[in-house]
Amino acid sequence: MRALIISDIHSNLEALNAVLVTAPACDTVWNLGDTVGYAANPNEVIDRVRKLAGLSIRGNHDRACCCPDEMEDFSPIADRAVQWTRSVLTRTNHEWLQQLPQGPCSPRGTELSCVHVSPIDEDEYLMNVDDAVVALEAASSRITLFGHTHKQIGFSADHEALYMLEPMFGSDDDADQYEIELLPGLRYLLNPGSVGQPRDGDWRAAYAVYDDDRSLFTWCRAPYDFAQTQESIRHAGLPDFLADRLSVGR
């Protein structure tokens, strides 16, 4: 079984389309949350994800965009994007966001877990080695897939040590991938990165592929027309910052 893993699309239709064109053939799609927020095509993105994903879980932006009573302490820019997204969501897509399950969720037929932020709690951050130590202790599965940080990163641990994992790509502009073998006896926390708003200094859309039969996890990058996304963000009247950051991946 091979799964396409996407997260933090954030209403970026061009980035999502590039991922779907670039990714290898997969048996299923797992969406780790924050389908909406920030960019200007929430309905189009949800329509695509609803048809594709075998599993979708909710992220903090998904929750804020459909449940005003659960609004988080967002920055003014993020809050403005949430308010705008609420104003344009169709009723069907609003209801879809409301029905998304809170992680951890285990895809059918697997022994791994999918969360948006952390296996501890959906509002806990998982940013560094110290966070990973606590998260691995709380994880119920040997492999946990998480998003939220918008960075392609991973952690592996045995009974003696914890290791940080990061992809090393050969290109800065083309489609690329970096493969790691998932070794027996190790526990893993793995982040596919952000499809729609990378923050690791790489502007390309980020995603991953999990191959259960071969015990492989592959980080991938896909170039896309971010200028078109920038134009749609500005046309919608969303903050320029949300458009500008796409060209630098920050």
Q: How far from 97 is each of 10, 24, 43, 92, CA to CA, in Å?
A: 13, 27, 11, 9
Question: CA-to-CA distance for 102 and 131, rounded, in angstroms?
Answer: 20
Domains of the chain: 2-247 (3.60.21.10)
- Reading the chain (250 residues) residue by residue, the pLDDT tens digits are 999 999 999 999 999 999 999 999 999 999 999 999 999 999 999 999 999 978 999 999 999 998 876 656 788 999 999 999 999 999 999 999 999 999 899 988 788 999 999 888 777 778 888 888 888 888 889 999 999 999 999 999 987 889 999 999 999 999 999 999 999 999 999 999 999 999 999 999 999 999 999 999 999 999 999 999 999 999 999 999 999 999 999 9
Residue for token digits 């920038």?
230
Question: CA-to-CA distance for 250 and 241, rounded, in angstroms?
Answer: 10
Q: Provide the β-strand partners of residue 207.
A: 220
Question: CA-to-CA distance for 179 and 202, rounded, in angstroms?
Answer: 18
- What is the reported pTM? 0.95
Q: In whole angstroms, how large is the CA radius of gyration of the chain? A: 17
Residue for token digits 């969406």?
31
Question: CA-to-CA distance for 175 and 10, rounded, in angstroms?
Answer: 21
Element (H, E) at 164: strand 162-165
Q: Is 106 left (phi over 0), alpha (psi -120 to 50) or beta?
A: beta
DSSP type of residue 105: B
DSSP reduced 3-state for 37: coil
